Structure 1
Amino acid sequence: MQNLKIQEEVNSLMALGHHFDEQLKLASVDLGDFSDDDLALLDKCVQYYSLLHIHDFNLNYLRDFYSAKKREYIENRQTTVQQRVELQRIHSSIDEAARDVVILERFKAAAEERLIPDIVVMQRNSQQLATKQALLDRQKTLKIPKDFNIESIIEKVDSLEQR
């Protein structure tokens, strides 16, 4: 009895396999046309069909699946191209920023070479203030006559220089 059930199941599976082969022939599909990866996917699909007890192979489902996969492939390829373009733009920006950094570093080095330390600046300022104060003090002590004409002295100096 058990053998009879097994034999009937094997016969029905053989008939189902023959039916599917006929369906593939109607779609002009030969299993030799598929790569190993595709055959593995088909085997996985068959396993799902058997687990879900689906026995009707509809070619429209396969076409829909193919269309969805093709659309997904095209979208992924478009995304990849866009990301490559964006990556190239980012690399260009990085290169431009690196050139700017080099220029700024040279400017910074040149500026640091010309930089005068704070102590030296403060010393110079104090010396200038001291000199200014000394000159102001000397000017206050200097007595200039009221009839003194600076312009006539400048003219005399100029005439002496010309001789």
Structure 2
Amino acid sequence: MTHCSTRSQVLGLLGWLALVMATGGLGALASVDAASFYGQLNLPAWAPPAGVFGPVWTVLYLLMGVAAWLVWREADAPARKPALAVFGVQLAVNALWSWLFFAWHLGAWALADVLLLLALIGVTIALFARVRRLAAWLLAPYLAWVAFASVLNWTLWQANPGLL
């Protein structure tokens, strides 16, 4: 681990949290009518209520920010830069999904995006594990949620051909 000052470490943590929350905010811009649109869809019995998504994503983004910060702190780790680069790519793919699904109602494209996101999260976890195992574990709930979201995306796309 790099021997930075406490101030530098705190600023680093705040920076990573700001980055992932900004990603969430970008997705939220596409989701302003998400609850209404979600309510119009033919939902499976196992689909969560619309009010679950915001709190879940908030927790996931917090975990993602802490995980990235833990990796960022390991300045001497050779896998640090590629791990954070893939992390950044998966953040962009994450933000795009809300636009594809909620703003543009493109179910097939949203499915392709979420499957790519799932793969990128897997790669990110593998790379984070090379740098800091705890950082990889912090992304496990994210991987699980996106796996669930992938199945939900496919199910909704199939059940709502007129809307997605």
- Considering the TM-score relative to the shorter chain, is it more than 0.5? no
State the TM-score, normalized to the length of structure 1.
Answer: 0.30
State the TM-score, normalized to the length of structure 2.
Answer: 0.30
- Determine which structure has more spread, i.e. the larger CA radius of gyration: 1
The structure, 1 or 2, with the larger RCO (C-alpha pairs under 8 Å, 6+ apart) is 2
